[in-house]
């Protein structure tokens, strides 16, 4: 770990000793803010740049007293002091002790002695400063009547509480030594885990602010509470305990109706309905789309929402998405969205913050808190989870646990047909207990695909209990999308149009765009077509600039973002694309010919899909390892010489593309709501 640079003032009247000390301090990586030979020079140097540590001689030039000088500096600037002196008589030692120095080094000294004294002094001073800060914080909090303050030891046992804290305790007790996690009565296991995770996070990284959670006090009132957790750090740097500052934001038993906030029985705001009813009029739907890579999850979710809103006039929808592009898409009527902080996929199951300077655990905790708070406030009748049963790194689990304890929400997992290689999915789902999650937390599983094309339940070995509640709804594709006003009018050009698309832009430039541009350059005199390249909004700026430079002078136009690429596919004579779910479905719906070059980064999903569609005779498949400019040229030439396989496939109905319509009709048969009712599909 990199050591933080500290500021050191050297007060010594012998120049040779000054220079020796300066060399040692600089060698430790610290900054020498000044060198003084007498009291006034020391005061001037400290005034100019406040030191963290003073190396102080006892007898200074001009007859100045180093002990008195050190006392003034320590009191005024709260700095650590190490005496470096040749005097060790009892009187001198006794006087220096009154200053409470952080060290005492005798002249003549060795470099190792000075280095050890400096390190020890700075470490001790740092922990002392932390302790003082915690003490000041504690004094401030105790003086605030709106805060309940609880201090615990390292194991969570209560060592102090102010009078306000007793009102939060389930039994109103004031006995010290009890575990705070047992004395607070949480309204759900999800809240208890949120609190426990807060203690772990504070231990690992310092101050933690928890999103609102719910407690039940000794009178039975449900309290919405926010909390700040601070670790107490001992001199060795280890966590010795915690300071908890809790504040009640809403007492639902007393002020829910008056405040216009939802109470346990829904006196105001959103609440679960008392009686079960059919999906439709008055139904609140929440759609979770984790969106860690590309645009596919967001666009599929919006496609389903548009169809549902069109078919069910009384429906309202809240989309919860982490996509940084959510604002670029027009929302259907009666639809709103909550934006989660964005993350990007960096490994098979690894994610990091896309924009914020936060740890992986920190961004996961923030998103989990936002999702749980949203569900509590919105109280959806139906929760539709896209693709990931537990969300990004399990961020949905607190919400699913809370819904288990507050019945009334029908939970649906919407899965694309192909997730990854079957053996990999079976292994990871077994390791992560995913079958148990599907059995416990979900009422239905909707597969966005056709069993005749890819048998998801068989390939991934889903247990019979999950198979029994699984429905195939066919492939979801937008037959038409809003956003035409953002597209330029088609060019009046008789040449065939080739569209090159790489999805969101988190990959594909090296396996598709670069070899395609190289092909155009090598065969520029033999190219009978024009090209439009969709780079995607997540392309790295430097990569994009390089590609645009390579395209200069070629019959190519480039776009970063097109809300509705399906319209471009419909105008094209050939599409060359990665093989994401949305891109492939839209190519099958609108295109004439297609070459699929799968993106193989963290999983084999696109590779499997490409091979499957090629086996059905719908597309041409090229493995990214086999793509060269010459291979691309020959493949494109051969495809233009043949017919239009996708046009023929649509006429034969080879791949059913009515997933949005079928899913909407299926939802219309659901019975939703009803506290304590197992909301299963009716009819």
What pLDDT is attached to residue 482?
A: 64
Residue 292 DSSP code: -
pLDDT tens digits along 86-116: 877 777 888 888 888 888 888 888 888 888 8
Return the higher-pLDDT residue of 201 and 1.
Answer: 201
Highest mean pLDDT out of 152-156, 260-264, 395-399: 395-399
Q: CA-CA distance, 116 to 279, in Å (whole number)?
A: 72
Q: Report the pLDDT averaged over residues 378-395.
A: 92
- Give strand pairing partners of 249: none
CB proximity list for 255: less than 8 A, separation 6 or greater: 261
Q: Which two tokens stand for residue 264?
A: 């346990």
pLDDT of 349 reads 57
Q: Look at 455-469, 494-508, 647-661 and tell me which has the smallest mean pLDDT.
A: 494-508
Residue 94 CB contacts under 8 Å (≥ 6 apart), including other chains: none
The rounded mean pLDDT for the chain is 83
Q: Do 249 and 225 contact (CB within 8 A), yes or no? A: yes
Return d(Cα 565, Cα 72) in angstroms, integer. Answer: 72
Residue 494 vs residues 367, 497, 517, 587: alpha-carbon distances, Å = 50, 9, 21, 22
What is the distance, to the nearest Å, from the Cα of residue 235 to the centroid of all Cα atoms in its chain?
Answer: 34
- Write down the pLDDT at residue 46: 94
pLDDT at position 264 is 39
Rounded average pLDDT over 39-45: 93
Q: Which CATH architecture has domain 7-128?
A: 3-Layer(aba) Sandwich (3.40)
Q: Please, which pLDDT band fits residue 434 given cuts at 50, 70 and 90?
A: very high
Q: Tell which residue, 387, 380, 369, has the closest CA to residue 300.
A: 387
Instruction: Write down the domain spans for the chain.
Output: 7-128, 143-259, 277-472, 488-656
**Direct distance between the N- and C-terminal alpha carbons of the chain, in angstroms, rounded to an integer:** 63
pLDDT of the residue at 216 = 81
Taking alpha carbons only, the member of 122, 24, 131, 138 closest to residue 79 is 122
Question: Is the pLDDT reported for residue 679 higher than 70?
Answer: no
Residue 257: pLDDT over 50: no
507 contacts: CB under 8 Å, gap ≥ 6: 578, 599, 601
pLDDT of 399 > 50? The answer is yes
The answer to whether the CB of 409 falls within 8 A of the CB of 403 is: yes
pLDDT band at 256 (very low <50, low <70, confident <90, very high): very low
Q: Band the pLDDT of 127: cuts 50, 70, 90.
A: low
Distance CA 611, CA 583 (A): 15
Rounded distance between C-alpha atoms, residue 48 and residue 43, angstroms: 9
Quote the pLDDT of residue 681: 39
CB 465 within 8 A of CB 540: no
When pLDDT is averaged across residues 462-483 and rounded to a whole number, the result is: 87
CATH code, 143-259: 3.30.450.20
Is pLDDT of 491 > 70?
no
Cis-peptide, bond into residue 108, ω within 30° of zero: yes
CATH 3.60.20.10 corresponds to the domain 277-472:
no
What is the reported pLDDT for 261? Answer: 39
For residues 346 and 222, the model is more confident at 222
Distance separating alpha carbons of residues 454 and 547, to the nearest angstrom: 36
> Would you give the distance in Å from CA 265 to the centre of its chain?
33
Beta bridge partners of 50: none
At 92 the pLDDT is: 80
Q: Are 106 and 204 in contact (CB under 8 A)?
A: no
- Quick check: 125 pLDDT over 50? yes
Q: What pLDDT was estimated at residue 269?
A: 41
Distance CA 670, CA 191 (A): 29
> Residue 507: what pLDDT?
64
The whole-number pLDDT of residue 173 equals: 52
Taking residues 446-457, report their average pLDDT.
Answer: 94
Task: Give pLDDT, residue 532.
Answer: 92
* Strands in 483-546 per DSSP E: 497-501, 530-534
**145-188 pLDDT tens trace:** 567 888 888 888 888 777 777 777 666 555 677 888 877 888 88
Q: Is the pLDDT of residue 253 over 70?
A: no
pLDDT at 538: 66
Rg (the chain; Cα; Å): 33
Helix (H) or strand (E) holding 313: none
pLDDT digits (tens, 9 = 90+) for 321-357: 988 777 878 898 999 999 988 887 666 556 677 778 7
Quote the pLDDT of residue 274.
55
Q: Answer whether residue 212 shows pLDDT above 70.
A: yes
- The CATH code belonging to domain 488-656 is 3.40.50.2000
What is the pLDDT confidence band of residue 250, given thresholds at 50, 70 and 90?
low
Taking only the tens place, the pLDDT of each residue in 414-433 is: 999 999 999 999 998 998 89
Among 31-40, 203-212, 390-399, 653-662, which is the least confidently predicted range? 203-212
CA atoms within 13 A on the CB side of 352: 5
Question: DSSP alpha helices (H): ranges in 529-680?
Answer: 541-551, 565-571, 581-590, 605-615, 629-641, 645-652, 659-667
Q: How far is CA 197 from CA 134, 227, 362, in A?
A: 21, 12, 11
Q: Which one has a higher pLDDT value, 148 or 449?
A: 449
pLDDT mean over 447-472: 94
Q: Are 188 and 402 in contact (CB under 8 A)?
A: yes
Neighbours of 134 (CB within 10 A): 17
Q: Taking the mean position of all CA atoms in its chain, how far away is CA 255?
A: 34
Separation CA 163–CA 353 (nearest Å): 40
* Average pLDDT estimate for 375-389: 93
* 266 has pLDDT over 60: no
Question: How large a percentage of the chain has pLDDT more than 70?
Answer: 84
Tell me whether domains 277-472 and 488-656 share a fold.
Answer: yes
Q: Is residue 231's pLDDT more than 60?
A: yes
Angle made by CA atoms 522, 526, 531, in degrees to the nearest 5: 80
pLDDT at residue 579 is higher than 50: yes
Res 375 pLDDT > 70? yes
């Amino acid at each position: 770990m990199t050591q933080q640079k500290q500021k050191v003032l050297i007060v010594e009247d012998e120049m040779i000793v000054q220079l020796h000390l300066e060399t040692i301090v600089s060698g430790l990586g610290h900054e020498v803010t000044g060198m003084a030979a007498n009291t006034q020079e020391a005061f001037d140097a400290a005034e100019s740049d406040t030191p963290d540590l003073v190396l102080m001689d006892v007898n200074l030039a001009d007859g100045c007293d180093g002990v008195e000088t050190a006392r003034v500096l320590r009191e005024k600037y709260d700095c650590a002091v190490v005496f470096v002196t040749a005097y060790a008589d009892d009187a001198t030692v006794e006087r220096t002790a009154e200053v409470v120095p952080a060290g005492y080094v005798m002249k003549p000294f060795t470099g190792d002695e000075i280095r050890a004294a400096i390190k020890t002094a700075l470490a001790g001073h740092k922990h002392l400063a932390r302790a003082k800060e915690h003490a000041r914080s504690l004094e401030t909090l105790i003086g605030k009547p709106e805060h309940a303050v609880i201090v615990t030891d390292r194991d969570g046992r209560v060592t102090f509480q102010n009078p306000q804290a007793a009102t939060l305790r389930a039994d109103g007790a004031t006995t010290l030594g009890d575990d705070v996690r047992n004395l607070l009565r949480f309204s759900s296991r999800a809240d208890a885990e949120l609190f426990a995770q807060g203690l772990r996070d504070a231990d690992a990284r310092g101050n933690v602010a928890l999103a609102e959670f719910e407690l039940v006090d000794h009178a039975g009132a449900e309290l919405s509470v926010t909390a700040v957790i601070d670790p107490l750090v001992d001199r060795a740097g280890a966590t010795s305990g915690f300071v908890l500052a809790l504040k009640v934001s809403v007492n639902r038993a007393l002020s829910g109706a008056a405040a216009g906030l939802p109470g346990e029985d829904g006196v105001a705001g959103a609440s679960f309905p008392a009686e079960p009813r059919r999906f439709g009029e008055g139904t609140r739907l929440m759609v979770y789309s984790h969106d860690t890579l590309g645009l596919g999850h967001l666009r599929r979710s919006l496609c389903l929402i548009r169809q549902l809103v069109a078919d069910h006039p009384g429906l309202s929808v809240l989309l919860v998405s982490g996509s940084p592009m959510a604002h670029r898409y027009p929302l259907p009527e009666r639809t709103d969205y909550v934006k989660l902080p964005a993350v990007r996929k960096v490994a098979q199951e690894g994610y990091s913050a896309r924009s914020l300077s936060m740890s992986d655990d920190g961004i996961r905790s923030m998103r989990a808190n936002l999702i749980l708070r949203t569900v509590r406030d919105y109280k959806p009748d139906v929760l539709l989870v896209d693709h990931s049963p537990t969300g990004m790194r399990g961020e949905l689990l607190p919400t699913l646990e809370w819904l288990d304890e507050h019945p009334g929400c029908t939970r649906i997992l919407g899965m694309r047909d192909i997730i990854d290689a079957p053996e990999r999915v079976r292994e990871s789902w077994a390791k992560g207990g995913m079958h148990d999650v599907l059995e416990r937390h979900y009422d239905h599983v909707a597969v966005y695909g056709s069993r005749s094309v890819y048998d998801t339940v068989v390939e991934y070995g889903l247990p019979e209990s999950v198979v029994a509640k699984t429905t195939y709804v066919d492939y979801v594709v937008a037959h038409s999308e809003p956003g035409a006003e953002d597209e330029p009018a088609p060019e009046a050009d008789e040449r065939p149009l080739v569209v090159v698309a790489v999805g969101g832009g988190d990959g594909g430039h090296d396996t598709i765009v670069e070899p395609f541009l190289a092909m155009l350059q090598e065969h520029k005199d033999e190219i009978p077509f024009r090209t439009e390249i969709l780079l995607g909004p997540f392309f790295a700026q430097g990569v994009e600039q390089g590609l645009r430079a390579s395209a200069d002078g070629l019959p190519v136009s480039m776009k970063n973002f097109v809300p509705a690429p399906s319209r471009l596919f419909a105008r094209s004579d050939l599409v060359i694309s990665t093989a994401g779910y949305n891109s492939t479905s839209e190519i099958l719906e609108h295109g004439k010919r297609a070459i699929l070059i799968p993106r193989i980064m963290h999983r084999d999903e696109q590779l499997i899909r490409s091979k499957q569609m090629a086996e059905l005779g719908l597309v041409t498949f090229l493995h990214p390892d086999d793509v060269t400019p010459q291979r691309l040229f020959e493949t494109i030439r051969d495809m233009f010489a043949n017919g239009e396989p996708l046009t023929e496939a649509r006429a034969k109905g080879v791949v059913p593309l009515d997933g949005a319509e079928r899913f909407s009709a299926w939802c219309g048969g659901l019975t939703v709501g009803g506290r304590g009712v197992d909301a299963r599909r009716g009819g």
